A = this chain, B = another copy of it.
């Protein structure tokens, strides 16, 4: 989608430069984004990567990945799958999550190739009843969340096949290892988890072994496809690791108040920032605290700051930050080059 479209909130905006963007707003640095795409593609080209749309919730962005050869996607919510189908991106969609509300996806199977994860009789029953044609067996590999045991995986696959479903393989997310800072330790631990997933794969059959994420994109060499999404836009949490990805996402804000006591206040707060990993980072000074619609910042040189100045804050967690906004602006230096609607939000 080209720049200059009608934005949300009944405000017609046609920003051609970053200065003209109304704040608060999500900014994507095109050079960092392109770098991240290239760095990933060098390791995981085409079908070796199944990009996770939960990290960016935008079909405009997804379309770029499809054009680069990543035509299979995964998602965390039925809504994300629906939106991808509606955008014509339904070549190979995986709901990499359990849901009882999958009949809405089964109804889309004429126009798309949809696979859902199941980890229990109840979720498999919902898939069968909902007209889902393909499943992966979701196996718990150490993260205390969804997924069945290795022992449960085989019988579940047998039941699915008996019901006429295509069992494409297994998935298992080693999410508890994403932030292991030491690379060799990360590889060792991922290997241990993935040996469990491969054991389940032997019992389940099918070609797919799906797992991984941005933190293990190149250390998880056991999966046939990696489910990564955060690498595209990045956040300060992932930036702590030794990853070849750059921080592409920031939140643009305007200084609305300057205090002689040593702080400035900008017009984005915790309603525009994912806060579960903590405060955002401001490269030009200290983040004092965030409240609903404000962030108070402490610059090293107060005299340099006036009401109306702009700042860019770097969020600690990309996924929930993006989900709080309706759009992202792609910028190249000062120029606004595209607007990406965040159109896969909610459930």
Contact = CB atoms under 8 A, between A and B. Distances in A.
Q: Is the interface of A mostly helix, strand, loop or mixed?
A: loop
Contacts of A9: 79, 82, 346-347
A122 to B, nearest CB: 4
| Oligomer: number of copies | 2
A147 to B, nearest CB: 7
Interface string A284-311: 0000111111101000000000111000
B306 A257 contact: no
A54 interface: yes
Interface string A125-163: 000000000000000100011110100000000000000
Interface residues of A, number: 64
A235 interface: no
Contacts of A291: 145, 175
B100 A307 contact: yes
Interface in A2-38: 8-11, 22-24
Contact of A122 (B98, B104, B307): B307
B122 A306 contact: yes
Contacts of A98: 256-257, 265, 267, 307
A261 interface: yes
Contacts of A175: 291
A321 to B, nearest CB: 10
B324 A293 contact: no
Contacts of A328: none
Contacts of A79: 9
Given A22-B101, A54-B293, A123-B256, 4 more contacts: A122-B308, A145-B291, A146-B257, A149-B260
